[in-house]
């Protein structure tokens, strides 16, 4: 298959959409928390990692089949996100923002070392979760390009999760409360909304999405280790910034941009493949210099 | 009662005597300590340089940079490539080597300066785009810079030897080099902090817009602090490489984790306090070594506990979170251990003693 052929392009396009969707799912958690608290939840990528381990152990130790294991893992990650907010971030709501950021770094550090101690530093294969692996190896042919069935499944699932997310944020009461506190916390609390509960819910929701993304990530790249969440987490944050932090559609756009750049750059310039992790940081610096509010973000004016 | 002020000449004499006493104590330690204790003692000084230089950027200027590991890595590689002899380099580079890198050679002092200058040069170049950013964005962009440097070191086989790293460095970082550099770092950075530049840096930290309206060139001052901090990070990188005798670009050794360690030191000591950074570095180095015991099998109230790998990092991270939640100002806060402050505390203690 030639590098200029249409099927090669198509194959990469599907990979890019899949990877971009996975980034976007993690990015939503960053963007929602940042929109409300102006806090980079550094531990978000590590919550994704914990979610993958939850799924792994639910399937291997509790011997659940893959779908219940995934549900258990997503719920577990949601609980973990809620707990982290309560224990580490809530006491610092009125502290300087830099203190909250350092605490988030400490939390990320804690989750990683916890995973090293409890789960072990040796990478585990996520494939052992599946009893029936035939589905992983199926390949579909679309317009001459061979696309693994898994890629389609991941894209469809990601889209479905986003549909649910939009329903929660724009059609339910709790979603309305989330949007309200992202605009003005003191006023919202005067309207009789339990702000801490809503922030906790935001953390739980973001963590659940990160875990879902992590599980799909591990199906595609089945290597589970304690630092697996670090890079995807950073890149997802960059996706959130590129799309416009605080905006959920922005997170999707940013994720897709990042996924596309990474996949296409590596497949059309194979020499650069070692630098794949560097692209996103270059994009970050570029976008912050050109349009600091991101592609879909609103321009914020600093009041003195 | 009026607080009595110390005369400047008294303070200078006290400082000189203090440095001489410390030098004497180091001389004794150098003769009596075993190898392991001496290694930890030297590590304290290296961590001290790292902490003081990061504190200049993060604590005193308020530019929240997470790129320190990148500067340390640049300094470490620059110096290590200079001190290795051409024969050693030819032997360890399995994928070939750039001819000019093979030829260059320098003594340890020149190599360390070169490491610092190289790191400062990178800080100058990266500072132009990065310092235009604010707060959290700057943190992420600088973290990204450090990662890009690490990824580059992992890929540029003919310059850095890639994932194999550089091995068999001479253990040049003896106690006099590391404590000499530490003394220079502390004197240089505290003179900077107590000059008009330092007051401008603190003004920027407190309120950037107010500082700007007072006519302070914010970007220029931040860049100055960033470059000076990076220079000493590069120097510490060289000392660290020649303490460890081997460097490689793994994520766990030279990655973001390393920056986080230094961050723990300065937060524990008090963001914005130079003496706090030194205390934080000493506590971290000793605690981190002592916690090694947790990773070996030990007996706890008669129960045999097997060693758990990674346990010491877990303990450190829990400590880090507890400090952040309950003790944000750290040991020193923004205070310094100056003769003036010691005198004040001492006379207060004495007065309270007389009252009771």
Q: What percent of chain B has pLDDT over 70?
A: 97
Give the dihedral of Cα atoms A85, A101, B267, B293; nearest 10 deg.
50
Q: How far apart are CA A286 and CA A257, in angstroms?
A: 13
Domain assignments of chain A as residue spans, ordered by start? 6-290
The pLDDT of residue B4 is: 61
Contact B320 A109 (CB under 8 A): yes
**Contact between residue A118 and residue B310 where contact means Cβ atoms under 8 Å apart:** no
The 10 Å CB-count burial string (b at 16+, else e) for B115-133 is bbbbbbbbbeebbeebbbb
B3 pLDDT band, cuts 50/70/90, is low
- Residues of chain A with Cβ-Cβ distance to B263 below 8 Å are 102, 105
Nearest by CB to residue B147, choosing from A95, A97, A281, is: A281
Nearest by CB to residue A121, choosing from B141, B154, B310, is: B310
Q: How far apart are CA B189 and CA B193, in angstroms?
A: 6
- Residues of chain A with Cβ-Cβ distance to B209 below 8 Å are 302, 304
Question: Domains in chain B, ordered, with CATH?
Answer: 8-355 (1.10.3470)
B83 pLDDT band, cuts 50/70/90, is very high
The pLDDT of residue A10 is: 87
Q: pLDDT per residue over B284-331, tens digit each?
A: 999 988 988 777 777 766 677 777 777 888 888 898 889 888 888 888
- Residues of chain B with Cβ-Cβ distance to A302 below 8 Å are 209
H helix or E strand, kind and range, residue A224: strand A223-224
B224 pLDDT band, cuts 50/70/90, is very high
Give the dihedral of Cα atoms A258, A262, A268, A273; nearest 10 deg.
160
Q: Which residue has the tokens 């809503």?
A: A198
Contact B209 A302 (CB under 8 A): yes
Q: Cα–Cα–Cα angle for A254, A259, A262, nearest 5°? A: 125
H helix or E strand, kind and range, residue A265: helix A248-268
User: For chain B, give me the number of helices (H) and strands (E)?
Assistant: 17, 2
Q: Three-state SS for A25? A: helix
Strands A124-125 and A145-148: unpaired
Report the top-level CATH class of A6-290. mainly alpha
Q: pLDDT per residue over A88-147, tens digit each?
A: 999 888 888 888 888 999 999 899 999 998 998 889 888 877 766 777 778 888 777 788
User: For chain A, give me the number of helices (H) and strands (E)?
Assistant: 12, 4
Please name which of A129, A121, A103, A112 lies closest in space to residue A50, comparing C-alpha atoms.
Answer: A112
Res. A161: pLDDT tops 90: yes
DSSP secondary structure string for all residues of B94-113: TT---HHHHH----HHHHHH
The number of beta carbons lying within 10 Å of the beta carbon of residue A181 is 21
Q: What is the mean pLDDT of residues A139-168?
A: 88
Nearest by CB to residue A101, choosing from B64, B133, B148, is: B64
- Residues of chain B with Cβ-Cβ distance to A278 below 8 Å are 147-148, 151-152
The pLDDT of residue A301 is: 58
**Two structure tokens written together for B256:** 């973001």
- Residues of chain A with Cβ-Cβ distance to B318 below 8 Å are 110
H helix or E strand, kind and range, residue B305: strand B303-305
Nearest by CB to residue A102, choosing from B148, B256, B324, is: B324
Q: How far apart are CA B104 and CA A49, in angstroms?
A: 44
- Residues of chain A with Cβ-Cβ distance to B314 below 8 Å are 110, 113-114, 116-117
H helix or E strand, kind and range, residue A124: strand A124-125
Higher pLDDT, B96 or A187: A187
Interface probe, candidates B148, B265, B267, B323, chain A, greatest A C-beta count within 10 A: B148
- Residues of chain B with Cβ-Cβ distance to A98 below 8 Å are 62, 64, 135
Distances (CA, A) of B14 to A176, B21, B27, B165, B180: 65, 10, 20, 45, 19
Nearest by CB to residue B144, choosing from A38, A281, A292, is: A281
**Contact between residue A149 and residue A140 where contact means Cβ atoms under 8 Å apart:** yes
Q: CB-based contact (8 Å) between A289 and chain B?
A: yes
User: For A188, how many CA atoms within 13 A lie in the half-sphere containing its CB?
Assistant: 19
Q: How far apart are CA A254 and CA B84, in angstroms?
A: 45
Q: Three-state SS for A194? A: coil
**What ipTM was assigned to the predicted interfaces of this complex?**
0.85
Q: CB-based contact (8 Å) between A117 and chain B?
A: yes
Q: Which residue has the tokens 């830099």?
A: A98
**Contact between residue B252 and residue B129 where contact means Cβ atoms under 8 Å apart:** no
Nearest-neighbour CA in chain A from B119: distance (Å): 19
Q: Which residue has the tokens 């829990």?
A: B318
The pLDDT of residue A220 is: 85
Among all residues of chain A, which has the CA nearest to that of B270? A99
């Amino acid at each position: 298959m030639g590098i200029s052929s249409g099927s090669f392009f198509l194959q990469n396009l599907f990979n890019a959409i899949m990877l971009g969707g996975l980034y976007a799912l993690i990015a939503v958690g960053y963007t929602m928390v940042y929109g409300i608290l102006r806090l980079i939840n550094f531990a978000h990528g590590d919550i994704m990692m914990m979610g993958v381990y939850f799924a792994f152990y639910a399937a291997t130790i509790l011997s659940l089949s893959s779908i219940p294991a995934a549900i258990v893992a997503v719920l577990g990650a949601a609980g973990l996100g809620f707990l982290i907010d309560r224990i580490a971030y809530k006491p610092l709501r009125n502290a300087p923002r830099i203190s909250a950021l350092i605490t988030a770094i400490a939390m990320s550090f804690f989750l990683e070392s916890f995973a090293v101690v409890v789960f072990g530093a040796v990478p585990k294969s996520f494939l052992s979760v599946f009893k029936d692996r035939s589905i992983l190896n199926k390949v579909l042919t679309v317009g001459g390009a061979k696309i693994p069935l898994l890629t389609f499944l991941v894209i469809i699932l990601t889209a479905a999760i986003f549909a649910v997310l939009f329903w929660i944020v724009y059609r339910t009461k709790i979603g309305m409360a989330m949007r309200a506190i992202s605009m003005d916390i003191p006023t919202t609390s005067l309207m009789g909304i339990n702000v801490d509960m809503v922030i906790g819910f935001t953390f739980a929701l973001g963590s659940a999405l990160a875990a879902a993304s992590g599980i799909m990530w591990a199906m595609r790249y089945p290597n589970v280790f304690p630092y697996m969440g670090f890079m995807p987490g950073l890149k997802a944050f960059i996706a959130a910034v590129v799309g416009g932090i605080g905006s959920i559609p922005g997170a999707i756009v940013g994720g897709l941009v990042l996924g596309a750049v990474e996949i296409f750059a590596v497949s059309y310039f194979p020499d650069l493949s070692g630098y794949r992790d560097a692209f996103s940081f270059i994009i970050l610096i570029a976008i912050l210099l050109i349009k600091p509010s991101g592609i879909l973000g609103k321009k914020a004016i600093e009041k003195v | 009662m009026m607080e009595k002020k110390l005369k400047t000449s008294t303070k200078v004499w006290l400082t000189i005597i203090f440095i001489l006493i410390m030098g004497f104590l180091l001389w004794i330690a150098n003769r009596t300590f075993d190898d392991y204790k001496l290694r930890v003692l030297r590590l304290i000084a290296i961590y001290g340089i790292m902490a003081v230089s990061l504190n200049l950027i993060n604590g005193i200027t308020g530019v929240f940079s997470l790129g320190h590991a990148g500067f340390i890595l640049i300094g470490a590689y620059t110096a290590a490539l200079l001190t290795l002899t051409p024969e050693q380099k030819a032997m360890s580079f399995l994928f070939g080597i750039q001819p000019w890198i093979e030829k260059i050679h320098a003594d340890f002092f020149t190599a360390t300066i070169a490491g610092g200058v190289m790191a400062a040069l990178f800080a100058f170049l990266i500072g132009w785009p990065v310092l235009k950013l604010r707060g959290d964005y700057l943190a992420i962009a600088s973290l990204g810079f450090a990662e890009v440097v690490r990824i580059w070191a992992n890929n540029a086989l003919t310059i850095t030897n890639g994932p194999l790293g550089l091995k068999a460095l001479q253990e040049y970082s003896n106690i006099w080099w590391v404590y000499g550099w530490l003394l220079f770092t502390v004197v240089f950075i505290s003179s900077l902090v107590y000059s008009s530049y330092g007051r401008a840096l603190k003004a920027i930290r407190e309120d950037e817009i107010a500082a700007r309206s007072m006519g302070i060139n914010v970007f220029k001052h931040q860049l100055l602090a960033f470059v000076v901090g990076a220079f000493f990070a590069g120097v510490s990188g060289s000392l660290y490489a020649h303490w460890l005798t081997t460097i490689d670009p793994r994520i766990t050794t030279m990655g973001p984790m390393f920056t986080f360690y230094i961050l723990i030191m300065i937060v524990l000591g008090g963001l914005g306090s130079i003496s706090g950074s030194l205390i934080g570095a000493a506590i971290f180095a000793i605690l981190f070594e002592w916690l090694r015991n947790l990773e070996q099998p030990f007996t706890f109230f008669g129960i045999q506990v097997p060693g758990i790998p990674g346990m010491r990092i877990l303990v450190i991270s829990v400590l880090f979170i507890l400090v952040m939640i309950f003790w944000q100002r750290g040991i020193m806060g923004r205070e310094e251990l100056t003769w003036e402050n010691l005198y004040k505390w001492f006379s207060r203690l004495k007065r309270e003693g007389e009252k009771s």
